[in-house]
Protein backbone atom coordinates (compact mmCIF):
# COMPACT_ATOMS: atom_id res chain seq x y z
CA UNK A 1 0.00 0.00 0.00
CA UNK A 2 2.81 2.44 0.85
CA UNK A 3 4.65 1.54 -2.34
CA UNK A 4 1.67 2.82 -4.32
CA UNK A 5 1.90 6.23 -2.61
CA UNK A 6 5.66 6.85 -2.79
CA UNK A 7 6.70 9.15 -5.63
CA UNK A 8 9.95 11.01 -6.28
CA UNK A 9 11.19 13.07 -9.19
CA UNK A 10 14.61 14.35 -10.24
CA UNK A 11 13.48 15.81 -13.56
CA UNK A 12 10.22 15.73 -15.42
CA UNK A 13 7.66 17.66 -17.45
CA UNK A 14 6.76 21.30 -16.87
CA UNK A 15 3.65 23.32 -17.75
CA UNK A 16 4.06 25.11 -21.09
CA UNK A 17 2.60 28.42 -19.89
CA UNK A 18 3.93 28.83 -16.35
CA UNK A 19 6.94 26.47 -16.55
CA UNK A 20 5.96 25.03 -13.17
CA UNK A 21 6.25 21.28 -12.54
CA UNK A 22 3.14 19.29 -13.35
CA UNK A 23 1.27 17.81 -10.41
CA UNK A 24 0.45 14.21 -9.69
CA UNK A 25 2.16 10.86 -9.79
CA UNK A 26 0.43 9.80 -13.02
CA UNK A 27 1.95 12.73 -14.93
CA UNK A 28 5.44 12.34 -13.37
CA UNK A 29 4.72 15.57 -11.56
CA UNK A 30 6.67 17.36 -8.89
CA UNK A 31 5.83 18.19 -5.32
CA UNK A 32 3.23 20.96 -5.12
CA UNK A 33 3.76 23.74 -2.63
CA UNK A 34 0.60 25.65 -1.80
CA UNK A 35 -0.10 29.04 -0.30
CA UNK A 36 -0.54 27.71 3.24
CA UNK A 37 2.76 25.82 3.04
CA UNK A 38 4.45 29.05 1.97
CA UNK A 39 2.93 30.83 4.97
CA UNK A 40 4.18 28.07 7.27
CA UNK A 41 7.76 28.40 6.00
CA UNK A 42 7.54 32.20 6.29
CA UNK A 43 6.40 31.88 9.90
CA UNK A 44 9.18 29.41 10.64
CA UNK A 45 11.79 31.76 9.14
CA UNK A 46 13.03 29.38 6.47
CA UNK A 47 13.65 32.06 3.83
CA UNK A 48 16.38 30.23 1.89
CA UNK A 49 14.33 27.05 1.53
CA UNK A 50 11.29 29.08 0.53
CA UNK A 51 13.26 31.01 -2.09
CA UNK A 52 14.60 27.77 -3.55
CA UNK A 53 11.16 26.13 -3.67
CA UNK A 54 9.49 29.13 -5.30
CA UNK A 55 12.19 29.84 -7.90
CA UNK A 56 14.72 27.24 -9.09
CA UNK A 57 12.62 24.24 -8.05
CA UNK A 58 9.53 25.77 -9.64
CA UNK A 59 9.45 28.11 -12.64
CA UNK A 60 12.80 29.93 -12.81
CA UNK A 61 13.98 28.39 -16.09
CA UNK A 62 17.31 30.23 -16.29
CA UNK A 63 17.98 29.63 -12.60
CA UNK A 64 17.32 25.90 -13.03
CA UNK A 65 19.96 25.72 -15.75
CA UNK A 66 22.48 27.79 -13.78
CA UNK A 67 21.97 25.74 -10.62
CA UNK A 68 22.49 22.49 -12.53
CA UNK A 69 25.66 23.82 -14.17
CA UNK A 70 27.06 25.07 -10.86
CA UNK A 71 26.35 21.70 -9.21
CA UNK A 72 28.14 19.84 -12.02
CA UNK A 73 31.14 22.18 -11.81
CA UNK A 74 31.18 22.12 -8.00
CA UNK A 75 30.80 25.89 -7.76
CA UNK A 76 28.76 27.94 -5.31
CA UNK A 77 25.10 28.29 -6.15
CA UNK A 78 24.15 31.53 -7.87
CA UNK A 79 21.27 33.89 -7.14
CA UNK A 80 17.88 32.84 -8.52
CA UNK A 81 16.37 34.74 -11.43
CA UNK A 82 12.88 35.91 -12.27
CA UNK A 83 10.14 33.24 -12.19
CA UNK A 84 8.08 32.75 -15.35
CA UNK A 85 4.94 33.28 -13.28
CA UNK A 86 6.03 36.91 -12.85
CA UNK A 87 6.27 37.26 -16.64
CA UNK A 88 2.74 35.84 -16.88
CA UNK A 89 1.58 38.45 -14.34
CA UNK A 90 3.25 41.25 -16.33
CA UNK A 91 1.48 40.09 -19.49
CA UNK A 92 -1.86 40.00 -17.67
CA UNK A 93 -1.32 43.58 -16.49
CA UNK A 94 -0.37 44.64 -20.03
CA UNK A 95 -3.58 42.98 -21.25
CA UNK A 96 -5.47 45.36 -18.96
CA UNK A 97 -3.74 48.28 -20.75
CA UNK A 98 -1.72 49.17 -17.66
CA UNK A 99 1.94 50.11 -17.72
CA UNK A 100 4.30 48.59 -15.14
CA UNK A 101 7.67 49.83 -13.98
CA UNK A 102 9.95 48.00 -11.57
CA UNK A 103 12.70 49.75 -9.63
CA UNK A 104 15.70 48.42 -7.72
CA UNK A 105 16.37 49.58 -4.14
CA UNK A 106 18.99 52.04 -5.45
CA UNK A 107 16.31 53.74 -7.60
CA UNK A 108 17.42 52.43 -11.00
CA UNK A 109 14.74 51.00 -13.24
CA UNK A 110 14.78 47.35 -14.27
CA UNK A 111 14.41 47.50 -18.04
CA UNK A 112 15.53 44.03 -19.12
CA UNK A 113 12.75 42.40 -17.10
CA UNK A 114 9.91 43.04 -19.50
CA UNK A 115 10.31 40.85 -22.56
CA UNK A 116 8.31 41.66 -25.66
Tell me what pLDDT residue 4 has: 73
Beta bridge partners of 30: 23
Task: Give pLDDT tens digits for 41-75.
Answer: 999 988 888 888 788 777 787 888 888 888 899 88
- Other C-beta atoms within 10 Å of 19: how many? 17
Domain assignments of the chain as residue spans, ordered by start: 1-32
> How much is the average pLDDT of 21-40?
77
Share the mean pLDDT of the chain: 79
Tell me what pLDDT residue 56 has: 79
Signed CA dihedral, 115, 105, 67, 91: sign only:
negative
Q: Which residues contact 41 (CB under 8 A, 6 or more apart)?
A: 49, 50, 53
Amino acid sequence: LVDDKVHARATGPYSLITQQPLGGKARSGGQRFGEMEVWALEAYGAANILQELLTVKSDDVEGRTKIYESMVKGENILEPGTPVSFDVLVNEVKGLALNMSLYRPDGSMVSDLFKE
